[in-house]
Amino acid sequence: ALLNYLGGRHYVRADWTAARVYAVADKTRRVLAGLRQRVEVTVLMAPSAPTADSVYPETRELLRQLARWSPQLHTRFVDVDADPAAAALLAQRLGVPAVELREGVVVVACAGRSRYLPARALAERRSEAGGRAITAFRGEPELLAALLAVTQARPVTVCFTTGHGEAPIDSYAPAGYGELADELRRDALQPRAIGGAELLGGAVGCNVLLLGGPTRSVAGPELAALDRYLTRGGRLL
């Protein structure tokens, strides 16, 4: 009885699973702890009769975990099957295309800015004889990217230099930067490739400049441009 009383007064939750299924990543916790504005998360899905590829249970559990780390995060669930007319009106107000309501969406909004995530973007699936099945739930990184997108004052731009034999930003080859660019986008950063003229012009608009594995030497004028970029407070990797 005493343990039950103390458990009710001092709620503590631990994840003892080997894969940390019910744990929130440190990066996500830091972002949530730093929220200074109210963030509304609206889930437009049908909880009844979930199919094998439904992400409703995982999404609900994830949002319950996230809400524990910030009082600024407010969530609400709207059953699109129970009241389709009200769900359609709400989707229109939130800027969600009506066609997306079929599978469901999650809308993250803050201070007049919003971003919606289709249910299909929250998980990886594979086709089976009876339909589709979830192979991996990606709700946390997708929601984190949406949180950063609607709460950051302005996006951070990461510029990838070109013209010196660097790997392309859209290449998914072993030496390419396609996967890195995708990770940056998921963190609400904007990757962009810039050529020699933009580099000589001072890399305007670049918060971070990535000179990634050049196979040819960087010419003198470009080195001078890099020096000016750093003198102005730019960041070079």
Q: What is the pLDDT of residues 57-108, one digit of tens each?
A: 889 989 999 998 999 999 999 888 888 888 888 888 888 887 788 788 999 9
User: What pLDDT score does 75 carry?
Assistant: 94
User: What pLDDT score does 195 carry?
Assistant: 84
User: What pLDDT score does 114 carry?
Assistant: 83
- Work out the angle at residue 96's Cα, subtended by the Cα atoms of residues 32 and 184, and round it to the nearest 5 degrees: 45
Supply the Cα-derived Rg of the chain in whole angstroms. Answer: 22
Residue closest to 144 by CA, chosen among 27, 15, 33, 59 = 27
| Residue 39 β-bridge partners | 73
Q: Report long-range pairs for 100-105 (Cβ below 8 Å, ≥24 apart).
A: 101/44, 104/43, 104/44, 104/45, 104/46, 104/55, 104/56, 104/80, 105/43, 105/44, 105/45
Stretches where the chain sits below pLDDT 70 are: 11-22, 48-53, 128-133, 186
User: What pLDDT score does 84 carry?
Assistant: 85
User: What pLDDT score does 51 carry?
Assistant: 59
| CA–CA distance, 201 with 8 (Å, rounded to integer) | 62
User: What pLDDT score does 77 carry?
Assistant: 92
User: What pLDDT score does 192 carry?
Assistant: 92
